[in-house]
Amino acid sequence: SMPTTAKVGWKAPSNIALVKYWGKKANQIPANPSVSFTLDACATTTSLLFQKRKAPAHDFSFELYFDGQKKEDFKPKIATFLTRVEPYLPFLKGYDFTIETTNSFPHSSGIASSASGMAALALCLLSVERMARPEMTADYFNKKASFLARLGSGSACRSIEGDLIQWGHTSGIPNSSDLFGIHYPFEVHENFKNYHDTILLVHKGQKTVSSTIGHGLMHNHPFAAQRFSQAHENMASLQPIFKSGDLEGFIALVESEALTLHAMMMTGQPYFILMKPNTLEVIHKIWAFREATKMPICFTLDAGANVHVLYPEKVKEKAMEFIKDQLVVHCEAGQYICDRIGKGAKEL
């Protein structure tokens, strides 16, 4: 049975999509499949203290602390999330919660914390349920955590496990689901183990388009159908690329996905440009460096101006030299984060 009070904690990583999720249907169902590297350094740590209520309750109540400070402005987002997951976690209404959360990356750095944040909270909530159901298998636990995280932020369902996670029902991908992320089920070459992601903070501060609005732009978007089928094609193309270790093929596909994501925003109604001049400076320098050195260094983007520089383990010294020499000058306050593929969330 459930204890009266206890504290649980999880550290959940962010992730970076290679094939992008952009566009959704009702209930956080993705319009197209996506695949991402789970990250390691960029993470949210959350602890959840829960206390059984004396009087029977018909609602849940919670307090939220962010970096030790009480945060009222984040509460509506968390309340929406709790309302969405409550049907799958019926114990919620009998408890009061204190949520304490911190991010490893600077606040308002333009790094989205929704994936790691929602994953960490989903894991905490499910840990509470597991206390009453100790027979829960690790496999079920991870699947349900991913399912719950998805209800907070779509991409969060790819932040439970490592190191390469696929989300979205796709013919030809066994066990793929719109409801939760799965381990990428095909062979992955050594070249893609220990991949690095150096995140250049080109523009800190608030994004001009929330991802909710961004996904919404894909409804009635003139190129939506084309884009969604392209994502399916790219998922299929990745299979032989991952299997053979084809870095050139990987680069072409990943950079195209990033630019397509931004192209969708530029061609929506209303339209947005989320890149900054320094985003383009960095992209051009990466291309010139790759042309000159033939080194497999490429970029991807989220729905913002920051650039993720991706490269394999075998070129990491040369890549960091290049980044420090040529790219850091385009970062706000010279800030960047050295990240890499990670193994998934950890219980504290």
State the residues that interact with ligand PMV by CB under 6 A: 17, 20-22, 34, 114-115, 153-155, 211, 215, 261, 302-303
* Shortest distance (Å) from residue 192 CB to ligand PMV: 18
Torsion angle, alpha carbons of 15, 322, 245, 165, to 10: 0
Identify the helix (H) or strand (E) that includes residue 99. strand 95-103
Pick the closer one to ligand PMV by CB: 39 or 128.
Answer: 39
DSSP state of 161: B
Residue 342 CB partners (closer than 8 Å, separation 6+): 13, 38, 39, 40, 41, 162, 163
DSSP string, 197-253: EEEE-SS-S--SS-HHHHHHTTTT-TTHHHHHHHHHHHHHHHHHHHHHT-HHHHHHH
* Shortest distance (Å) from residue 118 CB to ligand PMV: 8
* Shortest distance (Å) from residue 227 CB to ligand PMV: 13
Pick the closer one to ligand PMV by CB: 61 or 206.
Answer: 206
Pick the closer one to ligand PMV by CB: 34 or 109.
Answer: 34
Cα-only R_g, the chain: 20
Pick the closer one to ligand PMV by CB: 209 or 297.
Answer: 209
Pick the closer one to ligand PMV by CB: 17 or 253.
Answer: 17
* Shortest distance (Å) from residue 84 CB to ligand PMV: 13
* Shortest distance (Å) from residue 224 CB to ligand PMV: 15
Alpha-carbon span 338 to 321, nearest angstrom: 13
| Contact between residue 244 and residue 189 where contact means Cβ atoms under 8 Å apart | yes
